[in-house]
Amino acid sequence: MQTTDLLNERQTTHGSFEMNAIVAQRLRALFRECTSWHALPDVQKESLDMIATKVSRILSGQGDFVGHWEDVEGYAALARKACTR
């Protein structure tokens, strides 16, 4: 599959890259404004960043695309593994 074909295919499920960038960056900025952000381990921070990406795809593309929701579950499970209590 050529890059152009892949990008066209992803736009149907993920929405425009530009809109995804706006939504994801705003979510990440909000996360970093929270007082407990700096206390989180890197695994949980990265999981939240990836979840922000997936949420932006849900909001910008097809909200009923099951792969987006499976990815959110996966990143949440990885963050849960990093919990110490």
Tell me: the pLDDT tens digits for 57-79? 999 999 999 999 999 999 999 99
Residue 1 confidence (pLDDT) above 90: no
Residue 6: per-residue pLDDT: 85
pLDDT greater at residue 83 or residue 8: 83
Residue 24 confidence (pLDDT) above 90: yes
Nearest to 83 by CA among 41, 51, 47: 41
Helices 66-81 and 42-60: angle between axes, nearest 10 degrees: 170
Q: Is the pTM of this model over 0.85?
A: yes
Cα separation, 31 vs 25, in Å, equals 10
Cα separation, 19 vs 11, in Å, equals 11
Residue given tokens 């939240």 in the structure block = 48
Cα separation, 50 vs 53, in Å, equals 5
pLDDT greater at residue 7 or residue 70: 70
